[in-house]
Structure 1
Amino acid sequence: MTQVDTPELLPPDLDPADLSPPVIPEGARVWLVPTPVGNLGDITLRALDVLRAADAVACEDTRRTGALLSHLGISKPLVRLDAHTMRRAPQVLERHARLAYVSDAGTPGISDPGAELVRAAVDADVPVEVLPGATAFVPALVLSGLPNARFTFEGFLPRGGRDRKERLSAVAARTETSVVYESPHRLHATLQDLALSCGAGREASVTRELSKRFEETARGTLAELAAHFSGTVKGEIVIVVAGRPEGEADPDLPAVDHAAQAREWAASGLGTRDIRDRLSAQGLRKNDAYALALQATSE
């Protein structure tokens, strides 16, 4: 087994405000390198080439990344850059001209501090390359069996308060599919909250342990999934929630009396087809819209 170099940690009390502006070496470059979300065979050949060519590997967890590099037979200095230390990114770029960055799993920059490193590199005029590779939400979205021509990636929902309520309401009102990341110990509570916001009967899926031996995708209504995952759960979680069905009222809009509106339009001279089209645009099913339009013009 290859020995990985001891992680390089900048002093914890280092205040960037006390430092002179970093001098970035000529030829500096940052690579964001996807790592497997489970099965180690999902590492790409290009990812291996970049990790071998880098001067150092920055990561969220040096122990986890050290174990991965050891498995891959790669020995590199490790630098911790997580949510608490990402402010030191300019100094890391100054020390390591060719820097590879990996998250704990998947593609860096998606719901992790990698996005801040990209911003720091762009601000310092350092070229950035993002390698294609493993990510959790794309396989989970496809596995859900729900419509995926259009979808919204929500990432992790806020843990509580007004922000969480607003995001849950947005998922409920959205007509396209939503993708949510969640931790195992909060899965049940989040499924219950989604059921309250979207309705217990809204279709959804939960995928966990992607690419691992006990990979699971459960499909059903939010109420059924909340009951299924009421106990202890392991693994990283992706929840996929169907969009608001056609004809279901947008919870963020005031209730509309469609029949009265149809009569008003008929009184103004609009024909059955025009009234049907307007009602359909408001979310009514075409058959229901036509029935109301026909009744209004007949009256």
Structure 2
Amino acid sequence: MAGTLYVVATPIGNLADITQRAIKILGDVDLIACEDTRHTHKLLKHFGITTKTISYHDHNEEHRQKQLIEMLEQGMNIAVVSDAGSPAISDPGFRVVRSAIDRDLAVVPVPGPSALIAALTAAGLPTDEFFFAGFLPSRTGARQTRLHELSTIPGTLIFYEAPHRLAATLNDARQILGERKAVVARELTKMHEEIRRGLLSQLVEHYASVEEPRGEIVVLVDREVLENSAADSETKTVSELVAQFESQGLDNRAALKKAARELKLSRADAYRQLVAERGRT
């Protein structure tokens, strides 16, 4: 009989956040596949768990998942964990879960802490619709392109960011997404937890003037562009907005679509207005 793959969430900082079910599963399985065995051993030792561990991380994920699938098919029960939070969410785990499903093996979620959900619930931004974008690209051009793609999503935007890129990312977000409410959640559930709320421009100013922050960071951006920013757009013509967005890297089609949205026009109306404006020049 084949074994079961358990996808187990672990604390993102405060060890008291682990669930009783997670403790039981980690103690009962035959093997724990973990992102960093040394890190996970600290957690297991704290709860008196002696289950054998094996490394499973970004650098060996493709090779290791094949081994784990073979073990599951041989009848072993295996838990997969990340260093913190829920596996497979911007962490290793996706490949082995997909492989297990492809082979009709049982995959059981053991839910628990998640940095993005913890940040969202405390942010004070809309929670009815949200989009998790993982880590934005590290290179400026690629990051700005990604932010342009995210700008039309009608929900709260959530992404993880490294401390040394936070100020640059917030500045890019302000320039591309416009003025919006935003939140930076840092070191959640830990001793130095910080949740800073404000406008994107205020957060840009703050993090540009302080020492580089430390720890794990979640950035959340409201879906709504504030009226005072929209008012600036409403004073511009379609052709001016298209030129502005093209200068930011959008192609003509995407620039026209965004200009139409800013001016609350249909794309067809915006196109007709653009043709008319250019015909007058």
* Structures share fold, TM-score greater than 0.5: yes
Deviation at 1:282, TM superposition (A): 4.6
SS of residue paired to 1:129 = strand
CA distance in 2, matches of 1:114, 1:226: 34
Q: Which amino acid aligns with 1:115?
A: F
Per the alignment, residue 225 of structure 2 pairs with 245
Match of 1:139 among 118, 124, 127: 118
Residues 167-206 of structure 1 correspond to what in structure 2 (within 5 A)? 167-199=146-178, 201-206=179-184
Give the conservation status (yes or no) of the 8 Å contact 2:34–2:83: yes
Deviation at 1:234, TM superposition (A): 1.3
Deviation at 1:84, TM superposition (A): 1.1
Give the conservation status (yes or no) of the 8 Å contact 1:142–1:148: yes
Match of 1:61 among 29, 36, 39: 36
Does residue 112 in structure 1 map to residue 87 in structure 2? no
CA distance in 2, matches of 1:256, 1:58: 50
Deviation at 1:187, TM superposition (A): 1.2
CA distance in 2, matches of 1:86, 1:168: 29
Match of 1:220 among 179, 187, 198: 198
Q: Which amino acid aligns with 1:190?
A: T
Give the conservation status (yes or no) of the 8 Å contact 1:184–1:234: yes
Match of 1:103 among 82, 90, 101: 82
Per the alignment, residue 160 of structure 1 pairs with 139
Per the alignment, residue 33 of structure 1 pairs with 8
Identify the structure with the greater helix proportion.
Answer: 2
- Call closer, same or farther: CA 1:202–1:245 in 2, change over 3 Å: closer
Q: Unaligned 5+ residue runs, structure 1?
A: 1-25, 259-278, 284-299
- Call closer, same or farther: CA 1:280–1:160 in 2, change over 3 Å: closer
Give the conservation status (yes or no) of the 8 Å contact 1:148–1:177: yes
CA distance in 2, matches of 1:257, 1:67: 51
Per the alignment, residue 294 of structure 1 pairs with none
SS of residue paired to 1:92 = helix
- Call closer, same or farther: CA 1:280–1:58 in 2, change over 3 Å: same
**Offset from partner CA, 1:157-208 (integer Å, 9 cap, x none):** 1112654232111233333210011122221121111112112x32100001
Q: Between Structure 1 and Structure 2, how many residues are aligned?
A: 237
Does residue 233 in structure 1 map to residue 178 in structure 2? no
- Between the two proteins, what is the percent identity of the paired residues? 41
CA distance in 2, matches of 1:161, 1:215: 28
Give the conservation status (yes or no) of the 8 Å contact 2:129–2:154: no
Residues 9-28 of structure 1 correspond to what in structure 2 (within 5 A)? 26-28=1-3
Deviation at 1:242, TM superposition (A): 0.9
Give the conservation status (yes or no) of the 8 Å contact 1:54–1:99: yes
Per the alignment, residue 292 of structure 1 pairs with none
Deviation at 1:112, TM superposition (A): 1.1
Aligned Cα RMSD in Å? 2.4
Give the conservation status (yes or no) of the 8 Å contact 1:37–1:210: yes
Q: Which amino acid aligns with 1:236?
A: E
CA distance in 2, matches of 1:92, 1:148: 36
Deviation at 1:257, TM superposition (A): 12
